[in-house]
Structure 1
């Protein structure tokens, strides 16, 4: 930076006659002008820093709201999927036996914790036939809402003893004369219990809304809300917004808000952060900037250098925090969707890929094949050489499976010695047969474990979409059934669904 220097006064005979007041006035005037310039530079620089800090805070809010929406969406989806899985499990058991359905599941620890969740089976008149859990309606007004005779997952909200409840229900498919439902009841605040005041502040927002944008449950600070409409975009507008936050005003607070519909569920999550509240946290720092500017106006070089250094450090720190958050988010995402031993996609990621492939079929008219693989004689290797050798064998098997399929195919591990392969763009059996032959041949090759040669084989079951099923559950079930037929036929082979025994 350039130093601001006053002019040098020359003294000669003409100036010698001037009074000392006149000689002093000129440098003081110039120094005053330089001082004003310095003050203006410092004030304008300070104003720039404050504005940039506010812009950085707003940008940080935009990044944070995306991270928090990812975390909240994952948590709610996991809870909803577990709830739906429980309802489907009860439906399945109900199709096998007529009574003591919930008791049977409770004995096997297959129901969620009774302290939080209540599972019931109710008839068409709303009478409870079986129940687990602590919840019971306190009054007639607190009774279970009437349920429509409709397939799929139903979500209803109601109040019990002054506490908002959410009820999830499925109509039982046992085929009896009178309709019955299996219901799961949980306190609505369960879905906003992860509210973090350090991140969201006292005026932030977590909420679940239905298709009409009415809150099933919402939380801001310590306050809970329910059955209140929110001024949110329509579903089509949200889907076309490219996941961009927008400003909303709800309960007299303006927030930067992000809305995400939940996959396969009639609900959306809402995450909001009060920009004004977050900016208020920066006011003490802004006041320090201005005080420093006032005190060090005469020492412009030092102050400007210090501010530049502080700005650089703040930028580096924000960059470091942002990079660390991104690395952590990628790591968490990898853990959530990959098997920790083989690094292959896990069941959750496979389910997403299969659903995506089904959706692509409707657009591109292309099918796919689902291969269910189970290793033969793996247990004997595990028992003989130990679990460490068994883990190494699974890693080697994973590498051979990957090398035996095409680049755009997917190899996933369900657990234990079970693998599933998704073969994309399949319209007939011939290419599938070639792949299964390659897989069988690859696994037949000897493995070297702990200085010993081990021989195993693989049994494969194949289901084709859409010929053998229109959804993931049906395809997996039929591929698994075909795999068992392959084992019964002598192992080390592959069977298609509905293929006659050899």
Structure 2
């Protein structure tokens, strides 16, 4: 019996031990500590995963950006070199045909040569003497120069070593071709000299940073030109074996390496130009490109530290409270879950329209791109923007704008299949995802349905409003292989739709991308033009048709860019108008013109009427009258000496609203003129509603006058209509004596154009006003 007793006791002891051990293991504080360890591991594991992922994405993005910039720069340089080579061939042909050195002046007069702003074209004889040049000061001897000596034994496009211009201390590049006699003997060279900075003028610090690099180098390892930040250099020799190796492998994306010439570690892409003995190099500083990611990594780490500290604190509190707070913890967990669901909904949906927001749509698009790639399918992305939405907000208020967006969201949903997705990116921008696309027909069909649905009238705050939208369409894989590229392509196509008159859709193409990049570069430069004081005002006189005396003048805006030179108004005014920059630029024009007119009066010159043109956006600006009154007051300009010109096409938008604006302008005391008269079919009855002081006939009626054809009859009719409206009739674009004589016969009052005077600077106009008599305003 004793052995049995001992066995039962041992069994009971073992059971008690296991029970106590189980109790300790399952104790709340032990479970909490175990869970805390797991959560800490999860926090730091997730943080490290985010860090690795962010680093990889940043590196890939930097490499891809470098490759993209290299594609653009390669195309720019290749185009420039082809233009230079083509010019050399034209001069060579003309020289061979004429057999003299005067061909440069003849070709330059015909506009067949490159612009003198950046390029100088010269001809040197067999002794190296420069016998002809588009630069009058360029009379040097080029004997001994590599671009001269090499052409003695060859006949090909040659790129010479860069050197510095002794006058401007700027690096210059030289491109030459051989000139030969009829029997093939060497008779000299033709030479194009270019500012080296021209080839790196596309360097944009906001995109490439302070330590990026753009450059062109010969295959002999000498830089023709290199720019990093604001520093432009040339003529440097470097160890280019690594670059040549990259060039031979023709990598699409950039490689990360330490550049031999300055020791900076960059993502570098090298491209050899086809048909030319040079290569281009584009690099982005790894330090600059990854700086934001490194800051984010620091934030991730501190967040993980904070989360860890918070977790330890919570565990310590819960360890003390254990059983007493069990129920409270349960309720807290339930509340957190409900809150998380609410927060998640807010995080991924637009609060105004309840549509998916940018973040959720980005995830859906990325997911659908992966599925399309896996199943070898297409998908389409539609980018929508409401036309003139800002005007609706400014006119009817934000409440009406919000109501419009909600109604628009419902209409968009009604145009789509269940498998399609519509999201709001922000403001008045919407995107539509069409997965499982068999061809582009369905995308076009949906676009047509959306345009028709949006075109239906909206009832906003008791008012009926007609709205249109512009749509850009990109398709996978044709327009891009990733989310960012597809979205950007659709955005580019949408801007093209707006440029084509709005209320239409456009599919993305490579040509649109190139145009969009040029427009963005121009808009970026335009935003800085006012601060950099790059705008100028020139003035062109209006003269009496009978006496030839000055009756007034028009202020003409000019943009003098430090790199692009004089930019034509037709090139930058539309960009300024679309981007709303025209409002601030227009205020500068008005203020400057008024100051100048007051300055002339204070110099004792006869007062003149000065005309300033208003664009559509300026005319509809809610602050036009306030700004105008402030400018007249601050410049001490009498309102009767300021004339505002408004295009006939603008007046046709909303005649009732236009009349109200013009009446308020009339109350200020300024003069009002209708510009481009006769081209928009505005009826005489409608014109009689407008209080005009003068009517300016569109120059199209003047350029083709022949005294015998339909043009003269039509022009005479337009003049007669203007006279019937009891207004001063001004003919624009008068360039010849015959045109002026015809206008005199047709009883036109005044004329403006190069026949009277070209646009003049303020100083030139001052001298003209002193020399000529000015008709009084009331004459």
TM over 0.5, shorter chain: yes
- Counterpart-to-counterpart distance in 2, 1:120 and 1:141: 14
In 1: Cα distance, 2:178 partner to 2:212 partner: 37
Q: Please state whether the residue corresponding to 1:186 is helix, strand or coil.
A: strand
2:224 to 216, 236, 246: 216
For 2:138 and 2:122, the matched residues in 1 are separated by 10
C-alpha separation between the residues in 2 aligned to 1:169 and 1:145?
Answer: 6
Q: Structure 1 residue 316: deviation in Å?
A: 6.7
Match of 2:284 in 1: 273
Shift of 1:212: 1.7
Q: Indicate conservation of the 8 Å contact 1:213/1:230, yes or no.
A: yes
The question of 1:165 aligning with 2:172 is answered: yes
Shift in alpha-carbon separation, 1:159–1:312, aligned structure 2, 3 A: same
Asked if the contact 1:123–1:180 (Cα under 8 Å) also holds between the matched residues in 2, the reply is yes
Change (3 A) 1:135 1:187: farther
- Tell me the CA shift for residue 89 of structure 1: 0.7
Structure 1 residues 248 and 326, CA, compared in 2 at 3 Å: closer, same or farther?
farther
Residues 116 and 133 in structure 1, CA contact (< 8 A), matched pair in contact too: no
Map of 1:240 onto structure 2: 249
Q: Structure 2 CA distance, aligned partners of 1:227 and 1:233? A: 19
Q: 2:152 aligned with 1:151, yes or no? A: no
Superposition map of 1:463-502 within 5 A: none
Q: CA deviation at 1:37?
A: 2.1
What runs of 5+ residues in structure 2 fail to find an aligned partner? 1-15, 315-332, 349-358, 367-481, 494-506, 515-779
Q: State the 1:252 CA deviation.
A: 1.5
Alpha-carbon separation, structure 1, partners of 2:251 and 2:137: 41
Contact 1:257–1:272 under 8 Å retained in 2? yes
- Decide whether the 8 Å contact of 2:269 with 2:282 is kept in 1: yes
Contact 1:171 1:180 in 2 (8 A): yes
- Separation (CA, whole Å) in 2 of partners of 1:40 and 1:313: 31
Distance change >3 Å, CA 248–CA 171, structure 1 → 2: same
Give the number of the structure whose alpha-carbon radius of gyration is greater.
2
Q: Which residue of 1 aligns with 2:748?
A: none
1:53 is matched with: 54
- CA deviation after TM superposition for structure 1 residue 234, in Å: 6.8
Secondary structure at the residue paired with 1:95?
A: helix
SS in 2 for 1:110: coil
The 2-side partners of 1:144 and 1:266 are apart by: 15
How far apart are 1:110 and its partner, in Å? Answer: 1.1
Alpha-carbon distance, 1:36 to partner? 2.8
Summarize deviations over 1:233-289 as a string: whole Å, max 9, x none: 475762334445323322121112111110101110111122232111223322332
Q: Structure 1 residues 77, 214: CA separation in 2 closer, same or farther (over 3 Å shift)?
A: same
Give the secondary structure class of the aligned counterpart of 1:166. strand
3-state secondary structure, aligned to 1:281: helix
Q: Residue 203 of structure 1 aligns to a residue in which SS? A: coil
Partner of 2:36: 35
**Kept after mapping to 1: 8 A contact 2:63/2:255:** no
Measure how far apart 1:63 and its partner are: 1.7
Q: Deviations over 1:203-249 (max 9, x none)?
A: 21111010123211111112223222143447576233444532332
Which residue of structure 1 lines up, in the alignment, with residue 270 of structure 2? 259
Rounded to whole Å, the distance in 2 between the matches of 1:287 and 1:317 is 29
Structure 2 CA distance for aligned equivalents of residues 332 and 214 of structure 1 = 37
Distance 1:246 1:283, change over 3 A: closer
> Could you give the per-residue CA deviations for residues 443-469 of structure 1, whole angstroms, max 9, x where no partner exists?
xxxxxxxxxxxxxxxxxxxxxxxxxxx
Report the equivalent of 1:111. Answer: 113
Query: Contact 2:123–2:133 (CA<8 Å) still a contact in 1?
Result: yes
Number of aligned residue pairs: give it: 318
Moved more, 208-217 or 327-336: 327-336
When residues 207 and 134 of structure 1 are mapped into structure 2, their CA distance, relative to the original with a 3 A threshold, is farther
* 1:135 Cα deviation from its structure 2 partner: 6.7
Aligned to 2:235: 227
Q: Alpha-carbon deviation of 1:94?
A: 0.5
Which residue number in structure 1 is paired with residue 258 of structure 2? 249
Do the aligned residues in 2 keep the contact of 1:206 with 1:270 (CA within 8 Å)?
A: yes
Question: In the aligned structure 2, how far is the partner of 1:164 from the partner of 1:198?
Answer: 24
Cα distance in 2 for partners of 1:334, 1:40 equals 51
Cα distance per residue 1:292-350 (max 9 Å; x no partner) = 3333443999899999x89978767985323235666995634699xxxxxxxxxxxxx
Aligned twin of 1:356? none
Partner of 2:63: helix, strand, or coil?
helix
Unaligned runs of 5+ in 1: 1-13, 338-502
Scaled by the length of structure 2, what TM-score is found? Answer: 0.37
The 8 Å contact of residues 147 and 159 in structure 2, kept in 1 or not, is answered as: no
Evaluate the alpha carbon distance shift between residue 242 and residue 82 of structure 1 in structure 2; reply closer, same or farther with a 3 A threshold.
Answer: same
The two structures, once aligned, show a CA RMSD in angstroms of 4.0
Is this contact kept in 2: 1:218–1:225, CA < 8 A? yes
Judging changes above 3 Å, is the alpha-carbon distance between structure 1 residues 134 and 280 closer, same or farther for their aligned structure 2 residues? farther
Q: Could you say which structure has the greater relative contact order, defined with CA pairs below 8 angstroms and 6 or more residues apart? A: 1
Distance 1:268 1:117, change over 3 A: same
Asked if the contact 1:165/1:186 (under 8 Å) is kept, the reply is yes
1:133 equivalent in structure 2? 135
Rounded Cα–Cα distance in structure 2 between residues aligned with 1:295 and 1:135: 70
Q: Is residue 297 of structure 2 the alignment partner of residue 286 of structure 1?
A: yes
The separation in 2 between residues aligned to 1:317 and 1:136, in whole angstroms, is 59
- Which residue is equivalent to 2:125? 123
1:195 is aligned, of 189, 203, 218, to: 203
Residue 130 to residue 40, structure 1, CA distance change in 2 (3 Å):
same
Quick one: distance in 2 between partners of 1:234 and 1:132? Answer: 37
* 1:34-65: CA deviation from partner (whole Å, max 9, x where unpaired): 22321221121011112101101111122212
Match of 2:75 in 1: 74
